[in-house]
Amino acid sequence: MIINITGFLTDFTEGQRQIKLHSATVTVGEALNQLWQMHSGLRDRVLNEQGLLRPHVNIFVDNENIRRKELLETSIVQAREITILPSVTGGTGRIVNGS
């Protein structure tokens, strides 16, 4: 299983964008627990204090968002990869003329 890390989250994986898990896992939550063992600082950026997925972070199993499935209990038995994608926000939403 490969976990893809995107955006600012690579600051917490020593710049690694892909992390290979070596042990078999059944759910997203189990895979993430392995990831936390390798990169503990990443956990608090992905999960809140209750262990739930933060609202500004999306996790995909292959191309399926786990928010449309069983969240951290989503099965990954047939999956090839997990992608952790933080939302990008900011800006004013208006275009400013350069002159």
Measured distance CA(72)–CA(57) in Å, rounded: 13
Structural domain includes residue 59? yes
Structural domain includes residue 93? no
Structural domain includes residue 92? no
pLDDT score at 99: 44
Q: What is the pLDDT of residues 51-70, one digit of tens each?
A: 999 999 999 999 999 999 99
What predicted TM-score, i.e. pTM, was given to this entire model?
A: 0.86
Structural domain includes residue 97? no
For the residues of 48-79, what is the DSSP string, one character each? Answer: -TTSPBPTTEEEEETTEEGGGTTGGG-B-TT-
| Residue 92: both structure tokens together | 């004013």
The type of residue at 29 is G
Looking at per-residue confidence, does 84 or 88 come out higher? 84
Structural domain includes residue 20? yes
Q: What is the pLDDT of residues 14-31, one digit of tens each?
A: 999 999 998 889 999 999
Domain that holds residue 48: 2-86
What is the three-class DSSP state of 43? helix
Structural domain includes residue 76? yes
Identify the helix (H) or strand (E) that includes residue 31: helix 28-38
Measured distance CA(82)–CA(46) in Å, rounded: 13
Q: How sure is the predictor about 33, in pLDDT bands with cuts at 50, 70 and 90?
A: very high
Structural domain includes residue 49? yes
Structural domain includes residue 48? yes
- Tell me the CATH number at 25: 3.10.20.30
| Residue 7: both structure tokens together | 């955006």
60 in Cβ contact with 85 (< 8 Å): yes
pLDDT score at 88: 73
> How many domains in the chain?
1
